[in-house]
Structure 1
């Protein structure tokens, strides 16, 4: 068995990172991320990149401060598929929670698709508690390049930050 230790850092995701984030989603998704990066300038959101020493993102995700007053809402969390289950998701969520606390807020929320039990198990391990369900939907790019509406049911979870 070979053990590899990654030294990770969290920083702001920038437009130049998007070219190396194809693992995170389609061109349509990355265009949406680019739009969200514009909201960073206004302070409405934080958008993070988790990087090893190469400074190339292996995880990304946002915190939206406009969804609910006094709450940081985590969204668009993703870890490179080849590096899942290595602790990077935990690092990403903890970095996002630090951003929320640094704004003087004490509550984090997120929605997790009900068809994603691994993600929900991670959030539960990190102290998130389910409190409701709600449908969600977004446009996604089909393999032929066309857009289709994706609909899902999400469990809403929250955590008190100390």
Structure 2
């Protein structure tokens, strides 16, 4: 089977990118991403094909809620490009942000109903340490807000810090 190779870059996500990220979730999700972009302890990245510069994978790392660890969160890959390695590129770049802050632990949560994502995280070295009930508010296209509740497996990876000067 023929394959196509494209060059991608990883860069900070910007507020102006959100207009092209409707594929990543509904309006409430994009509201949460916009809030994260304004937060002081949150780094948000985009993986973009060099040709277009438009985000095809996005995610962030929140340094506030988990002392001593970066919490990787709000990950999304364009549905047409899933299973092409973009999630791995994004997570690796987010882990680099964690180690750049001098931390050696990255954590994330994955819904129990998302075995494909969990398999990716396990392949990248994350190990489950807890299951929690969590939830967040979602806003639909018509502006209706409802509470989404789910069970998430909490996962952790111990990162290797870069040596000074490397």
TM-score clears 0.5: yes
Q: Contact 2:137/2:145 (CA < 8 Å) preserved in 1?
A: yes
Normalization by structure 2: what TM-score? 0.92
1:2 deviation in Å?
2.1
Aligned pairs, number: 159
1:112 and 1:78 mapped to 2: Cα distance? 12
1:143 deviation in Å?
5.5
1:161 and 1:6 mapped to 2: Cα distance? 28
2:159 counterpart residue number:
161
Q: Mind listing any 5+ residue stretches in structure 1 that lack a counterpart?
A: none
SS at match of 2:113: coil
1:5 deviation in Å?
0.9
1:132 deviation in Å?
0.5
Q: Contact 2:63/2:71 (CA < 8 Å) preserved in 1?
A: yes
1:45 maps to 2:12:
no
1:35 deviation in Å?
1.2
Equivalences for 1:30-109 in 2 at 5 Å? 30-39=30-39, 42=40, 44-53=41-50, 54-109=52-107
1:120 counterpart residue number:
118
Q: Mind listing any 5+ residue stretches in structure 2 that lack a counterpart?
A: 161-166
1:70 deviation in Å?
1.2
2:108 and 2:66 mapped to 1: Cα distance? 11
1:144 deviation in Å?
4.4
Q: Which runs of 4+ in 1 moved over 6 A?
A: none
1:8 and 1:50 mapped to 2: Cα distance? 6
2:148 counterpart residue number:
150
1:148 deviation in Å?
1.1
Q: Contact 2:63/2:70 (CA < 8 Å) preserved in 1?
A: yes
> Which shifted more, 105-114 or 3-12?
3-12
1:28 deviation in Å?
2.0
Normalization by structure 1: what TM-score? 0.95
